[in-house]
Amino acid sequence: MKQFLKFVFGGTMICSTFLLSGCLYKDSQQQAVLRSAEGYNVKGYQDRQPEDPDAEKRLSVSVPSGNSSSQQSQEPQTAQEKNNFNPKQPSSMQIDESKNYSAVLKTSEGEITIELDAKKTPKTANNFISLSRDGFYNGTIFHRVIEGFMIQGGDPNGDGTGGPGYQFEDENLEGIYTRGTVAMANSGPNTNGSQFFIMHEDYDLPNNYVIFGHISSGMDVVDKIANAEVTLNSSMEKSKPVSPVKIETVEIVEK
C-alpha cells in the first residue's frame, strides 16, 4: 500500500513538474516573441482583433535597433550598398527656414507629395531633405503596412533593421496624428534616423513622434499601399507586404 501511494504521489509530482515546465516554456516563448518587436516603435496602436490579447504589444511600429550578422547577410541590405551611403552624423543645415519645401515621392504605385514643415521642425525636415537629395531613399520600400493605422518606410535594408548610421534629437513634439500626417519612427526619445511613417487614418497616438509634414497629394497612393495584401513578419505581426511598393526617387521642391 505504501509503495502504491508512493508511486501515485511520485507520478503526480512528475506530471506537475512537466505541466509547470510546459507553462514556463510557453511563457518564455511568448516573451521572446514580444521582445523581438523591440526597437523603433510607434506605440499606441491597438489591434482591431480583440481575440488576440498580445496584439497591441506586437503591433507597435517597431524597427529593431541592432543589426545581427544574419540580418546583415539578407538581400534587402543591398539597397544601402547600392546607394553607397553610410553617414555617421546628420547633415549640416542645408535649408532656408523662410522657404517652403515639399518632397515628391515617386513610387511604383504613383506619386506622393509631402509638404515639409521646415519652420516648426527644421532639423527633421533638413534631415529628410538631405537624405533625399543624396539618394538615400531611392530603391527603398514601404516595409511595414497596417491598414487603418499607418505605412512605414525609409529603411535601406527593407526589413526594419536599417538606418542612416546616426541618430538625432526630437524637436517640437506636438500635433495630432491625423490621416496624411508624416512623422518619424523611433526607439525612444532622441533616436530619430531615416525611417518615417504616414498615417493611413486618424489615430490617437502619444506625442512621442516628430511630425515633420503632411500629404498634400497622393493619398490615393497611400490607400493602395495600406490596402495591399500583407503577411506575417519576423515578429509574427501581419504587416509585411506581399508585393512591397518601392520608392523609386524623391524630388525636393523649394519655393
Q: Which domain holds residue 186?
A: 36-45+64-254
The CA-based diameter of the chain, rounded to the nearest angstrom, is 95
112 found inside a domain = yes
**Residue 232 in this model has a pLDDT that exceeds 50:** yes
pTM of the prediction?
0.71
Q: What is the arrangement of strands in the sheet containing 181-184, beginning at the earlier edge strand?
A: 140-141, 246-254, 101-107, 110-116, 211-217, 181-184, 196-199, 150-153, 144-146
How far apart CA 115 and CA 62 sit, in angstroms, is 25
CATH code, domain with 79: 2.40.100.10
Q: Between 122 and 85, where is the model more confident?
A: 122
134 found inside a domain = yes
In the chain, % of residues over pLDDT 90: 58
88 found inside a domain = yes
State the cell numbers at 38: 523591440
pLDDT at 90: 82
Question: Each residue of 148-189: pLDDT tens digit?
Answer: 999 999 999 998 888 999 999 999 999 999 999 999 998 889
15 found inside a domain = no
Which of 80, 7, 71 lies closest to 39, judged by CA?
71
Q: Between 19 and 212, where is the model more confident?
A: 212
Provide the domain count of the chain: 1
How far apart CA 143 and CA 241 sit, in angstroms, is 7
102 found inside a domain = yes
10 found inside a domain = no
In the chain, % of residues over pLDDT 70: 65
